Amino acid sequence: MRGRGMQLLSQVLLQCYSLLQEKEVLHLVLFYESRLQDNHLVIPSVLQGLRALSMCEVLSPGLAVSVLKAIFQEVHVQSLLQLDRHTVYSIITNFMSTREEELKGLGANFTFGFIQVMDGEKDPRNLLVAFQIVHDLIAKDYALGPFVEELFEVTSCYFPVDFTPPPNDPHGIQREDLILSLRAVLASTTQFAEFLLPLLIEKLDSELQSAKLDSLQTLTACCAIYGQKELQEFLPSLWSSLRREVFQTASEKIETECLAALRALSACLSRSVLSSDSEDLLDSFLSSILQDCRHHLCEPDMKLVWPSAKLLQAAAGASLRTYHCITHSVLPLLLEQYTKHTQSSQRRTILEMLLGFLELQQKWGNVEEDESTLLLLQAQVCSVVFSALLDPSVQLQLVGIKALTVLGSLQGFLSSSNLELVVDHLIRLALHEEDSQSSEAAMEAAGSLAPTFPKVFSGHMVPKLKEELQSEPEESYHNHHSLQQRCLQALAAVSTHTIIVRETVPILLQHLQKVQKGTEARNTQDMISVCQSLHRVALQCQQDAEGCWYFHQTVVPCLLAMAVQAAMPESTHTLPGKALLEEEVLAAMIPVISAATTHLSPELAAQSVSHVVPLFLDGDVSFLPQNSFPCSFQPFGDGEFLEAQRRLVALLMAFVCSLPRDVAIPQQEWLLRELLALSCSCNCPFTATTAAKCFAGLVNKHPAGQQLDEILQLAVNRMEPSLAEGPRRTQALTLLLWVRLVLDEWGRGTGGPSLALTVLPAQVTKALVLRYHPLSSCLTDKLLGLLGDTELGPATADGFSLLMAESPDVLHKGCHADVRIMFRQRFFTDNVPKLVQGFHGAGPDVKANYLKGLSHVLNHLPKPVLVTELPTLLSLLLEALSCSDRVVQLSTLSCLHPLLLEAPQIMSLHVDTLVTKFLNLTSSPTMAVRIAALRCAHALTSLPTTVLLPYKGRVIRALAKPLDDKKRLVRKEAVAARGEW
């Protein structure tokens, strides 16, 4: 009865403790303290009541101390149940947060009392709270008195943490939580050092990998607060353990943590303040490291050379002082060894070690000349690096290029004469080195160094590249063409500073004009190469407002002028005109214009759009360079002779669809109508598609309202007849898909087109999907209906990939498109059930269309979402593997591969079917399908072994055939899969 009464009273207090008055709290505390002497069955309810009282703000001074004394004296905490023990920890925590000064008045007795409470705790839920209390005891300067060792023992007994959470643990406590909480305690005070460091050394010497890792990480944490006094006695043992682990371990994690611990130790010794009569432990510690490691650097072919180098670099990376001490001894030795050894492999090893120390110099920035060993050895270092660049070994060259990049980043290290040598070496490697790795690395190095030395590169490297680019062929055409390609790549790579961009862009444009006027068969590829170089320059300029605007106002008008000139009727019958109008060349120009536009400020973008849009709508060529054309520019005009001009709508798309959303487009409604008409009437698939994409991009950014309603209504009126029948059904479907993707992005806005619109052209569908527009569901239903069309069904099924995939040119965030989050998940939820229903009701001749559409949707869905829906869709995916369409097979295999790894339990239920299907597809006539099937067969090995054993022999025998496949990539996958089985 007393227990029930106490339970009721405690429950009432937990609900109303904030309403109690001071005198009431006083009487209740005294009453509850007396009840602590009652029968053990009453104690849990008493503790609950005390927890409620510990949260009262009106608790009288002295009561907190009184309560804790009573608990320490009357309650044997570890004999209680877990929940009751947790209550005791909660009472202590509450008092420590509100009555800190009172508890500190207890002195070391409070610490001793808590030690008694915690001693023997095993439950991880309670340990997390207990560790936090110990941490607060230390962090808030509670008196530990003579109980430092006892407090250490009561916590360190859990080190290293050995805890595996039970499956489906509702509390969510992980081993890592306990490790970090305990580490925070052990590394919180220097008073634990004399007890903790021997423990860490002992665990380091154990065979348990987890214990080694935990010990090393704890040592690193302790070094943040320790000084020479705490470490002095244990430094030899610590160094011995760290050296042994790095020299002998096969674990990369342990090696990494050892190096981090050594760096922390060296940093700790570096920052310790010494008295005049104390010994400097850093010098003796570094001397031990040098003594044990330095001689191994003389043996570049031996096993211990790299562990020794890593240890030395870890110590050198601790502080500027350690860096000077280590490099003073090591750098002259490495330079001597480089000269002494003549083999390229040995020199590469030595130079890689030297590179590690050079990179550390970057960390410490500029240093005084009389302090820096590196500056004293400047001539020797440069000589070694330059000799590596001249070596025939590609691998040594690559290391030399990296070293050159690091040296260039050290301000004041390279003299003007050395800089010219650097540029000469980079030009030679970039243009004339046979191996592409060295050439590409040299170009990257030039790009890295150019912002630091822009005048050197613009005045020395760019003119030489220009001279090589414009030179006449003296040898075979192939070699000269290859040299020109490298010149273009190098000009783009080095354009990483506005000063250099102003030099390289005119050169690239001049070369493009020269190529356009040529008559060689390679003109198309040459133009594409120049455009690729311009695209790289555009990307490198995006973060610099000045460079971005210069590039835009220089390149965009020039490209447009060249394209307009090529599209003039007089030039369309000659090869030069046709070359620039080919789809491949226009496709290469699109990303150049797009990248030059996306990062413009709204003011500059508005200035540019006021010229470009009138060019296409009004034929206003006044802003173009060399704007004297034989006839007017009318890309939206009628007549077959304007077909070449219509192709340039691709460049308009690249520009207007890359503008920031808040930039007003002049005559936008007229432009939308012209684009819609062109996409519906043009016989050229390339022109019709780019017009549809341009229309979709503008619709995606168009504010909702009456004007947009009218445009979409016009689209309906024009496209519905074409979609039903006629020669332009494919163009209609293309427009429908793009505008459907745009509409879905609108759903959260207000207004928008009337829901009476039930049909829209295909590209428009994509534009509306991205905006969550209500109309998008109507358009999707139309697409689902077209899956049953024998003529348009396959193309419609492929269109689902367009709806779900990232758009590379217009409808993505990089072009400021309105793309809402989770639009794929929404599309999946709304439409996959309809796809499944349509599949079951479709005729045998169109079922494959539904499977293909479903496969495309699932292949682009985030995998966590797909896993949750897997049980209901897996049967359809398995049926899709039997479809004869190669696209369906490849898309389905790509979808199943990650599911085998992420949902093995579900996939195990269908293992028989999966094995059969995958093995059959390893004989597919399509190489990509064979590779995907072998990867899936490989992924099957992630299923439970007991499930796979019955199929082991069959799979191994079946995978013997693709081992002899005629394609190397197929054989490679077959070897991996068969070996795993």
Phi and psi (nearest 5°) for 10?
-65, -40
This prediction has a pTM of: 0.77
The amino acid at residue 827 is F
Q: 764: Cβ–Cβ under 8 A, 6 or more apart, which residues?
A: 692, 695, 696, 699, 712, 715, 735, 736, 737, 738, 739, 740, 742, 743, 779
Q: Homologous superfamily of 874-980 in CATH?
A: Leucine-rich Repeat Variant (1.25.10.10)
Residue 443, pLDDT above cutoff 90:
yes
**What is the per-residue pLDDT across 346-375, written as a single tens digit (0 to 9) for each?**
999 999 999 999 898 887 766 455 456 777
pLDDT band at 758 (very low <50, low <70, confident <90, very high): very low
Question: CA of 294: how far to CAs of 245, 256, 266, in Å?
Answer: 17, 20, 17
Mean pLDDT calculated for residue range 141-158: 92
**Lowest-confidence pick of 667-681, 690-704, 825-839, 905-919:** 825-839
Given this model, what pLDDT does residue 623 score?
A: 85
Residue with more model confidence, 844 or 486: 486
The confidence score (pLDDT) of residue 437 equals: 92
Return d(Cα 470, Cα 481) in angstroms, integer.
Answer: 11
Q: What is the pLDDT of residue 566?
A: 85
Of 598, 491, 501, the C-alpha closest to 547 is: 501
- pLDDT tens digits, one per residue of 477-532: 667 788 889 999 999 999 999 999 999 999 999 999 888 876 555 678 889 999 99
Q: What is the pLDDT of residues 281-326, one digit of tens each?
A: 888 999 999 999 999 998 888 888 999 999 999 999 998 889 989 9
3-state secondary structure of 765: strand
Distance in angstroms (rounded) separating the CA atoms of residues 38 and 295: 73
Q: How many CB atoms lie within 10 A of CB 481?
A: 15
Whether the CB-CB separation of 739 and 763 falls below 8 Å is answered with yes
Residue 160, preceding bond cis, omega within 30 degrees?
yes
The percentage of the chain sitting over the pLDDT mark of 90, rounded to a whole number, equals: 33
Q: What is the mean pLDDT of residues 868-885?
A: 73
CB 453 within 8 A of CB 419: yes
State which amino acid sits at residue 617.
Answer: L
Q: What is the per-residue pLDDT for 505?
A: 94
How does pLDDT run across 718-737, given as a tens digit for each residue? 666 555 554 555 655 665 66
As a whole number, the mean pLDDT across the chain is 83
Instruction: Let me know if 508 is exposed, middle or buried by CB neighbors in 10 A (0-12, 13-18, 19+).
Output: buried
Determine the Cα–Cα distance for residues 574 and 948; give it in Å rounded to an integer.
65
Q: Which residue shows structure tokens 């050995």?
A: 162
Weakest-pLDDT range from 89-103, 265-279, 680-694, 896-910: 265-279
List beta partners, residue 778: none
Share above pLDDT 70 across residues of the chain, in percent, rounded to a whole number: 84
* Packing angle of the helix pair 685-701, 668-681 (nearest 10 deg): 150
Query: CB-hemisphere CA count at 13 Å for 237?
Result: 14
Question: How confident is the model over 541-563, as pLDDT tens digits?
Answer: 988 889 999 999 999 999 999 88
**701 phi/psi in degrees, rounded to 5:** -95, -5
Rounded CA-CA distance 788/853 in Å is: 12
Confidence of residue 244 (pLDDT cuts 50, 70, 90): very high
The one-letter amino acid at 421: L
**Cα separation of 559 and 577, whole Å?**
13
Question: Mind giving me the DSSP string for 503-561?
Answer: HHHHHHHHHHHHHHH---TTHHHHHHHHHHHHHHHHHHHTT-HHHHHHHHHHHHHHHHH
CA–CA separation, 744 and 815 (whole Å): 17
Distance CA 875, CA 898 (A): 17
> What's the CA angle centered on 293, arms 289 and 296, to 5 degrees?
170
Task: Tell me the pLDDT band of 745, cut-offs 50, 70 and 90.
Answer: very low
User: Angle CA(843)–CA(849)–CA(855) in degrees, nearest 5?
Assistant: 130
- What pLDDT digit, counting tens, does each position of 83-115 carry? 999 999 999 999 999 998 988 988 999 999 999
For 290-356, the three-class secondary structure string (H helix, E strand, C coil) is: HHHHHHHHHCCCCCCHHHHHHHHHHHHCCCHHHHHHHHHHHHHHHHHHHHHCCCHHHHHHHHHHHHH
Beta bridge partners of 768: 741, 743
Which one has a higher pLDDT value, 642 or 396?
Answer: 396
DSSP 705: S
118 closest CA partner among 159, 172, 67, 76:
76
d(CA 923, CA 934): 10
Return d(Cα 671, Cα 680) in angstroms, integer. 14
Is residue 378's pLDDT more than 90?
A: no
Q: How far apart are CA 834 and CA 780, in angstroms?
A: 10
pLDDT at res. 760: 35
Read off the tokens for 724. Answer: 């039903």
Instruction: State pLDDT tens for residues 784-795.
Output: 667 767 666 777
According to DSSP, the residues that pair with 763 across neighbouring strands are 735, 739
Name the phi and psi angles at 280, rounded to 5: -85, 105
Cα–Cα distance for residue pair 107/137, rounded to 1 Å: 11
Q: Mind giving me the DSSP string for 885-911?
A: -HHHHHHHHHHHHHHHHH-HHHHHTTH
